[in-house]
Amino acid sequence: MRKLLSLVLALVMVASLTVVAVGAVDASGAATVTLKGLQGETVSQTYAVGETFTAYTYLNVSQINEGRIGSLDGSLTYNSAVLEVAETYNTDVEDYDYGLIDDLETVFPIIGDSAVGNAGKSGVIKYNASKSALSGFEFNSDTSSLSVVRFKVIAAGEATIENTMMTLASSDRNLTRIIAKGVIQQGKENFTTPVALSEPATPVVTGYTVSGVATSYKTNDGVDDVTLKLTGSDNNYTDTVTVTATYSGVTAATDYAFENVPAGEYTLSVEKGNHVTREYTVSVSADTTQDVKICPIGDVNMNGRVQSNDATKAYKHVQGGAEDQLTDYAFKCADVNKNGRIQSNDATQIYRQTTGAHNLF
């Protein structure tokens, strides 16, 4: 059986599917939306006209063929008088009378990478997919997404979004039917279809917390804010958090946190007045703890104070001893004039800071 991936939006509503009809609708007020799973699981929420939300349907058949599905055929229906699909479409498709859904994996993340449809105007998204490999599509937990569709409320009223499966077959050699012609053939008690509106149902995670302790030091009065910026290396995420240092003596250990951070690789930049900016690489695939530390300008040994031995370390670097070469963050702390080199005048300025003859801050 060759691999076939397609998702077609029908021009007419499937007669056997149930959608709440709305009498009079208007362009103000709110809509009550009910999302139904394959076995009647429901969740409802009210949204204002103009708001967007996401409808999540999950499929868990882990107790049947270890959750491996070889074929599925179904529909996601919704009341098009109240809702429209808030996805982008390309309606200029030469080979079809329908538009092309630009991002199928957003709508049906399990299924694949190609789709045709009518831009969601008819109120039904119909999908049909099969996979020849015995590994099949994996629906083996309550976090296995069947459909994830973004909707916009276009009128007040009531609407039901319902995911109905006409065919569901295991990825065994016989493609044993779990559902045939919309009727569950076996194992009704052995699979679930959790649903959620606006945010994924627990335990689905859309983002993680990156947190830790930011250590800095007291230099001048009024220089107390520590700014942390988290920037994605492989996505467009960026966020900035500013915390106010709380000191114990001259040292501040201040908690910080970024919430709802998507999985990925990040650069965490930490800065504070009179300190040397420092960057950390953070990999996020779960809640992540990353403690950070920044030091004052000229603090070469990174103990939070500028002392004569810091000047000595800088001088030894200038003199060129292989064992005395400064690297990484210590190098940046010694490069007080920020020209990318450690020179004798950097060491001199550090020494004069310790004697009070010069103020690096």
Checking if the pLDDT of 113 tops 50, the result is no
Write out pLDDT tens, residues 226-278.
Answer: 999 999 988 888 999 999 999 999 999 999 999 989 889 999 999 999 999 99
The β-bridge relationship of strands 225-232 and 264-272 is: antiparallel
Which pLDDT belongs to residue 30? 87
DSSP assignment of 210-242: EEEEEEEE--STT--EEEEEEEESSSS-EEEEE
Higher pLDDT residue, 245 or 95?
245
Write out pLDDT tens, residues 311-356.
Answer: 999 999 999 888 899 999 999 999 999 999 999 999 999 999 998 8
Checking if the pLDDT of 115 tops 60, the result is no
Structure tokens at 273: 């007045």
Sign, CA torsion 331/333/337/342: negative
Q: Which residues contact 52 (CB under 8 A, 6 or more apart)?
A: 86, 150, 151, 152, 153
In the Cβ-directed half-sphere of 297, how many Cα atoms lie within 13 Å? Answer: 20
Checking if the pLDDT of 97 tops 60, the result is no
Give me the count of residues in the chain: 361
Q: What is the mean pLDDT of residues 180-192?
A: 82
Which pLDDT belongs to residue 332? 96
d(CA 35, CA 197): 7
Q: Walk me through the domains of the chain, giving residue ranges and CATH numbers.
A: 4-197 (2.60.40), 208-293 (2.60.40), 308-355 (no CATH)
Q: Which residues contact 255 (CB under 8 A, 6 or more apart)?
A: 211, 212, 213, 214, 243
**Residues 197-235: b if buried by 16+ CB within 10 A, e if exposed:** beebeeebeeebebbbebbbbbbeeebbebbbbbebeee
Share of the chain above pLDDT 90, in %: 41
